[in-house]
Structure 1
Amino acid sequence: MEQRTAAAGLDELTDFLVRLTGLLLRSSGEGAQAIEPAVVGCARALGGGASLLLVPDAAVLTVTAGGGTRTVTVRGFPEVFRLDQVVALKPLLADVEEGRVGVAEAGRRLTRIETAPAPYRWWLKFLGIVLFSLGFAPLMQATWYEVGSTAVLAALAAALAVAADRLPRLARVLPLVVSTAVSVVALEVFARDPAHGGPVLLMLPALFFFVPGDYLSAATAELAAGLITTGAIRLVYAVFLLVQLYLGVLLGVFATGNSTRGLFDVVAEPDMPRWALFLGWFVFSAGTVLAFAIPRRLYWPLLALVYVTVGVQSLFTKLVGEAGGTFVAAAVLSAAATVLARGRHRPPRLVLMLPGFFTLTVGSLGMRGLTTLAGGHVIEGFRDLMKLITIVTAIAVGMVFGAALTFTRTAASAQAPGSPTRSNGERGTPHGQEEKT
């Protein structure tokens, strides 16, 4: 039988909601749509009230309880690099909203979530980024040469990403540093023979972990959901990250003495068998679990959703074209994740969607378009950029559509912090800050 808890005092309720909002902000790289319902629902369940004014990296939180009011500015850089915390937070939110725990116990459990060590050591994160890139490589070019070059370039990118966890100054410019290093090695070692494909196609799998395709889609989804300020700011930030990667590639070209005309976009003749392409998603899903600190027990459901997304996209692309196939795949993924996330012991929706979302590969189009333009191939470059806009919109609208088809009032508590549509932990500071006003 459900046991209702006593109403919390203003001070302890404010402290809990500030910390909760900070954690939700820091895990909102994939969208901020679920932050306000979670915070407001917890405040109401604990006998108080709350309202939020959100931007991607901050929230103005107003808490009312016992006849008093307090307003606090909470800051937290949006990212998705500790999904184990997202998984652990879901049952806590359910217990609070169902009146099973009071504010003191909720605060203690939140502290355990905030202070829990990462589930995987640094070398497993390194391995995860490499596997993540290797699984993605055949989507660029289905050649063994692409896989071999990706193994080397991804190891370089992963080493820099792991180092950035301990070097805040490197973390601030990580996309630029990684893309420059990958560009130099790719041009000097792997891109000497046009028969192996375009240089950018050889670089992209190693850079995929840093490409902000998820931010682009999240921004579009937020705009579609009416979060204009949040969506617009996130969109600008995603473009900024994309430009950093693009500039890094150009710096690599200049450092090696090559011409930008060499940034052609030609696909090599495929030589990989179909079974290798099929098994690549096993590698990709394993890399996603390790790179984003997802609990190991979720590997098989995530892998199933990856194959569902790939299968739906492939089928409907043949029937209605690339944009239509992407829209249907995004809608199916969103609907499936919404349904599967229902229930307090089910994985959060964000975690269920993330690997499947990456298979839609939207971010690489922006990089290919910019670098192709830089190489003087104007028509091909603009074609990629126009495709980027189309695919981003198809993904975002498909995810909103899929969620709308399956969303119910009771599903709100099943949603995890964040929303459809990785970002890495190196993009911002690791801890939020709070300011009382």
Structure 2
Amino acid sequence: MDGARTVRASGAGEVTPDRLTALLAELTRMLLAASGEGASELEHAVAGVAAGFGARTSMVLVPDGATLTVLVGGETRTVAVRAFPDVARLDKVAALKPWTRDVGRGRYTLAEAERTLAAIDGSPAPYPWWLKGLGIVLFSVGFAPLMQPTWYEVGSTAALALVTAALALAAGRWPRLAKVLPLVAATAVSVLVLEVFARTPAHGGAVLLMLPALFYFVPGDLLSAAATELAAGFVTTGAIRLVYAAFLLLQLYLGVMLGVYATGGDTSALFDLAAHADLPRWATFLSWVVFTVGTVLAFAVPWRLLLPLLATVYLTVGVQSAATKLVGEVGGTFVAAAFLGALATVLARRPAAPPRLLLALPGFFTLTVGSLGMRGLTSLAGGHPVRGFHDLLSMVTTVVAIAVGLLLGAVLAQRPRPLP
């Protein structure tokens, strides 16, 4: 039988084409499932593991699937792999980096590689469900001062985020809810804001009160990842991810509109006027600590990475603030994205360092642009076409600035590494 044929790779033990293909297919599935922020590193990671067993691979990639071809011992195997892209379990991403490095260097036999990969895939979540929920709340509260630096914004976001966190946790148990989660969450938040929290213009616009609690679902990171993939030449992957991000954004918009209709109001309630700032500067500064802790808990990032991620957040915010004063908002975002891309790429070179995705993700969120898309759509619906189109144009401009900046930073900092 063809599957019984074995070849020997240096230091790797006996390797059968079928078993190696199964291992690489499982690795591809796990990487796809963690590729919500982009899949540009996936092909190289799989090829590196294959090289550890004297094999070669080629791949045709889309965001939720891949066709993997493995050439080993003169035989070829081709398999199709499917997985929905997400960033829910970044602890697995952190564990896969040393695993792929060691396997690629021939330090594991095939049996050892299979066993350790299965252990990573089957590992329990690092935090209990209630800490994940707390993380979603802190993630939203930390973002709130960016919308409106007011105590009312922070307090209302904490209450609203409890609702979105409960829905997100429920979606983990009921997959049907997960398919329409942005729509359901946006509807619930919209109703609560219009009925309870946006009773007076003194507290700011309804949309500004809604957005922080919905930030966990806003696809700004997906939009930027899609643009990055397009700029890097991953046309199919980037285009599909862009369409999916737009679909999620429309779900959120429709949910907000359903909330307006359910409360018996009209779209004029969706005004976008900021309240008078009363949050002290120290609270705004510390909000990034709250945000980063929320990111760690919400996305299952290992706790030991909190301080490095916090440093990247403050460095990114600092660079963006300084550059904005010199070259404007779009230029500042571009410079900060390039800095973040280069910093994450350089730090990730160290064997003990976390993967580039984990190092860049919190800083990436600080530059996110999906909220501009939401504000633009709701401003249009609320009868403010000039403001609405301005926000949508700003979203497109900022998406490109973040994408090209991240790509430029990574290219400048990356060492050449031809595929095996």
Q: Could you state the TM-score of these two structures normalised by the residue count of structure 2?
A: 0.96
User: Tell me, what secondary structure is at the counterpart of 1:165?
Assistant: helix
State which of 175, 197, 213 in structure 2 corresponds to 1:206.
Answer: 213
Deviation at 1:4, TM superposition (A): 2.9
SS at match of 2:399: helix
Instruction: Give the secondary structure class of the aligned counterpart of 2:38.
Output: coil
Find out whether 1:184 has 2:176 as its counterpart: no
Equivalences for residues 311-326 of structure 1 within 5 A:
311-326=318-333
- Superposition deviation, residue 19 in structure 1: 0.2
Distance in 2, matches of 1:333 and 1:357, equals 8
How far apart, CA to CA, are the structure 1 residues paired with 2:147 and 2:299? 22
Q: Paired residue for 2:69?
A: 62
How far apart, CA to CA, are the structure 2 residues paired with 1:71 and 1:7?
20
Match of 2:173 in 1: 166
1:361 is displaced (CA, Å) by 3.0
Q: Distance in 1 between matches of 2:268 and 2:192?
A: 18
d(CA) in 2 for partners of 1:188, 1:148: 16
| Match runs of 1:229-378 below 5 Å | 229-378=236-385
8 Å contact from structure 1 (residues 200, 263) kept in 2? yes
Where does structure 1 differ by over 3 angstroms across 4 or more consecutive aligned residues? Answer: 409-413
Total equivalences in the alignment = 411
Aligned twin of 1:195: 202
In the aligned structure 2, how far is the partner of 1:412 from the partner of 1:280? 42
Partner of 1:127: 134
Which sections of structure 1, spanning at least 5 residues, go unmatched? 414-437
5 Å-filtered alignment, 1:89-104, equals 89-104=96-111
Please give the alpha-carbon distance, in whole angstroms, between the structure 2 residues aligned to 1:271 and 1:64. 63
> In the alignment, residue 363 of structure 2 is paired with which amino acid?
G
Cα deviation, residue 103, structure 1: 1.7
Pair 79,118 (structure 1): closer, same or farther in 2 beyond 3 Å: same
Partner of 2:51: 44
Deviations 1:214-233 (A, max 9, x none): 10000000000000000000
Does 1:86 pair with 2:93?
yes
**Comparing 5-14 and 332-341, the one that deviates more:** 5-14
Deviations 1:103-130 (A, max 9, x none): 2111111000000000000000000000
Question: Are 2:118 and 1:111 aligned?
Answer: yes
Q: Are residues 400 and 7 of structure 1, via their aligned partners in 2, closer, same or farther at CA, if it must alter by over 3 Å?
A: farther
Tell me, yes or no, if the aligned pair for 1:6 and 1:47 is still in contact at 8 Å: no
The residue that corresponds to 2:5 in the other structure is none
Deviations 1:58-101 (A, max 9, x none): 00011122222111100010110100000000000000111111
- TM-score when normalising by structure 1: 0.92
Residues of 2 paired with 1:48 and 1:360: CA distance?
A: 40
Structure 1 counterpart of 2:51, which letter?
R
What is the aligned-residue identity percentage? 66
**Matches of 2:261 and 2:74 in 1, distance apart?**
64
Query: What is aligned with 2:80?
Result: 73
What residue identity is the alignment partner of 1:80?
A: V
Structure 1 distance, partners of 2:343, 2:15, is: 37
The 5-angstrom pairing of residues 380-391 of structure 1 reads: 380-391=387-398
What do the CA deviations read for 1:285-324 (whole angstroms, capped 9, x no partner)? 1000000000001001100110001111111111101100
- The amino acid across from 2:190 in the alignment is S
Q: How many angstroms apart in 2 are the aligned matches of 1:226 and 1:328? A: 22
Partner residue of 2:21 out of 14, 18, 21: 14
Would you say the 8 A contact 2:221–2:368 is kept in 1?
Answer: no
Contact 1:265-1:372 within 8 A present in 2 as well:
yes
Q: In structure 2, how many angstroms separate the alpha carbons of the residues matched to 1:163 and 1:287?
A: 18
